[in-house]
Chain A
């Protein structure tokens, strides 16, 4: 009896392994363009890079290493801290031999959800649909010396041995330049600009407290990452504070709160924002596009773009931000795109872009 059971279990084990192997393989040939894109990203999501790469057309002229780096990110960029969450596809055009598939990739990143929309070309190779992967051009900065002698502010605080009258170094003087409260999408949004008027760097936070008609505080919120927290002398940053679900008519007054702190900071890096223009992206949405140029000698891993939009009276009518999922290599332009509400696009008279930067070395 024991010998029979052992044989049964052995056969069962072999059978299950065989079934698992057959069903576990997601590398079956794609019969549709959409299927090829879905299968490729499905494998990538499961980190089956061999499987994903098997759906890449040979005409793509990209090696597996480059393909993996395209999907997982390089140089400590935001993409390296993200995970592919979902893929939505839609065929825009299809013929017998090639097709175009609009692919919306949704990434879960360290700073929230990030979307990447691409129009992928899918071609038929050897009877199967394969994705012609648009290989990213890997930029190599030529060996060089970039002289940087920007300032750094260090602070000596008062010590325990100082007498009680010895003054500490003063916190910086900053000023909220403007504040505009608008109702959008069923919520109240407060935005404006803040300036560091001092000659030392400041770490700033701006918040708002809403008071209802009875004089009671009903909500309190801060601008979180819709602001440049570290402001160098005379630097101006936009801020935006969102109060979802609160109507403007329910609010009697807004009390702005702020905190200015003196912090050590570096004047490096300088990031230029070139060729800014408002246009439509491939999905038809209004965006502010341009290029970021890191003029310094160190890599900026995660650039964060903040855009301020003004009407013809100079009033801030919208503040928008976007994290770039590509690192900024020295002296190398990198495209960026920041969304602008379509309903506001006609009212935008001018705009200003500032860049926050996060680097692993700091």
Chain B
């Protein structure tokens, strides 16, 4: 019985030793990086298959020596399997890390936003290496939002390959440059910051033309002082004995202008959207 146990132990030891000896046939590096050369030590003769995410590499090897994989061949980060067939039949798993940050996908929303609104602009950056492998290691990303040379900057460390930020819109209208950068890579988006609702809408009588009275607004601005864009509708409403007359005028060169019928006693009001302006009495008594 003792002999039998002894023989069994010897067999198990030999098996383990043989297995260890075979494992040494493929020498895979522990810190493979996508886009960087890889050297794999082998022994014997055979074929090596490297199977990774969406990619397969095949190499013949003879009498040992190292197999060199070029950087541009090893494109995919993730879980790889190395399979050797020939004198030895063996497989091993190894991991390839993403390379250094070289690509950014940057989502900036919205593309157009009223001025002076808190937390309305969001930016999300996805960090990739040269071969579009998402870099999962924490990486600092700089977000810069500027309009007319002034703006704010913030550095955010990515988590699971994603960095995001949100920001208020500036009080000044214009095309804001929203830039995300990591390392030497930067991506630019434009966020149009537009004037908000008109503020302190005022009009006055500008004269007469073609038997009409010409009403003109002062330059129309929002509460931050930005000119309301041309083309915005401004409604003039005149009420007198003959009824109501309305003109939906468009802001042109910063002001809106309308010609209304002459009346001996009329009240004129002005509005842009839901914002009301001053009231004028023309003709009879003021």
Residues of A near any B CB (own CB < 8 A):
149-151, 153, 163-170, 177, 195, 197-201, 232-236, 267, 270-277, 290, 295, 351-354
User: Number of contact residues on B: which range applies?
Assistant: 35 or more
A149 CA to B257 CA, complexed, in Å? 13
Complex: how many Å from CA A169 to CA B110?
8
Task: With A163-B105, A234-B273, A235-B248 as known contacts, state yes or no: A267 contacts B261, CB within 8 Å.
Answer: no
Judged by a CB distance under 8 angstroms, whether B175 is at the interface is no
In the assembly, what is the distance between CA of A158 and CA of B206, in Å? 44
Complex Cα distance, B215 from A272, in Å, reads 13
Chain A facing B: main interface SS: loop
In B209-250, the 8 Å CB interface with A consists of: 228-234, 237, 242-250
**Residues on the A chain within 8 Å of B260, using CB:** 272, 274
List the 10 closest A-B pairs by CB distance, nearest first.
A277-B243, A234-B273, A151-B231, A165-B105, A235-B233, A233-B232, A274-B245, A272-B247, A276-B244, A267-B250
- Check A276/B232 contact, CB under 8 A, given A150-B250, A163-B105, A169-B112: no
Nearest Cβ on chain A to B252's Cβ, whole angstroms: 7
Distance in angstroms from B168 CB to nearest chain A CB is 17
- Minimum CB distance partner of B194 in chain A: A199
Interface assignment of B268: CB less than 8 Å from any CB of chain A: no
Closest-CB distance, A356 to chain B (whole angstroms): 11
Q: Which residues of B contact A274 (CB under 8 A)?
A: 245, 260-261
Within 8 A of A (CB), among B135-182: none
Residue pair B231, A232 in contact (C-beta under 8 Å): yes
Q: Are the C-beta atoms of A270 and B195 separated by less than 8 Å?
A: no
Residue numbers of B with Cβ under 8 A of A are: 105-112, 126, 187, 189, 194-195, 197-198, 228-234, 237, 242-250, 252, 258-261, 272-275
Decide yes or no: A272 and B258 within 8 Å by CB, A235-B248, A277-B244 being known contacts: yes
Interface centre among A195, A234, A270 (most CB of B within 10 A): A234
User: Contacts A149-B252, A150-B231, A151-B231 hold; do A275 and B110 have CB atoms under 8 A apart?
Assistant: no
Q: Bound state CA distance, A295 and B198, in angstroms?
A: 25
If A149-B252, A195-B273, A276-B243 touch, whether A200 touches B232 (CB-CB below 8 Å) is: no
Judge whether B110 and A233 touch: CB under 8 Å: no
Chain A proximity of B235: nearest CB distance (Å): 8
A245 CB, nearest partner CB in chain B, Å? 35
Given contacts A167-B189, A195-B274, A276-B243, contact A270 B232 (CB under 8 A): no
- Chain B residue at minimal CB-CB distance from A150: B250
The answer for the CA separation of A292 and B126 in the assembled complex, in Å, is 56
A-B contacts, 13 listed (Cβ < 8 Å): A151-B230, A168-B111, A170-B109, A170-B110, A199-B112, A234-B272, A235-B233, A236-B273, A267-B230, A267-B231, A275-B261, A277-B244, A290-B243
Q: Shortest distance in angstroms between B270's beta carbon and chain A's nearest beta carbon? A: 12
B244 and A351 form a contact (CB under 8 A): yes
Candidates B232, B242, B249, B252; contact of A275 at CB < 8 Å: B242
Q: In the bound complex, do residue A273 and residue B250 qualify as a contact, i.e. CB atoms below 8 Å apart?
A: no
Q: How far is the CB of B112 from chain A (nearest CB, A)?
A: 5
Flag if B232 contacts A199 (CB, 8 Å). Answer: yes
The answer to whether A151 and B259 touch across the interface, beta carbons within 8 angstroms, is no
In the complex the two chains form, is B245's CB within 8 Å of A273's CB?
yes
Known: A150-B250, A167-B109. A276 touches B231 (CB 8 A): no
Partner of B246, one of A170, A200, A352: A352
| Smallest beta-carbon distance B264→chain A, Å | 14
- Closest B residue by C-beta to A193: B274
Q: Give bound CA distance, A274 to B250, whole Å.
A: 17
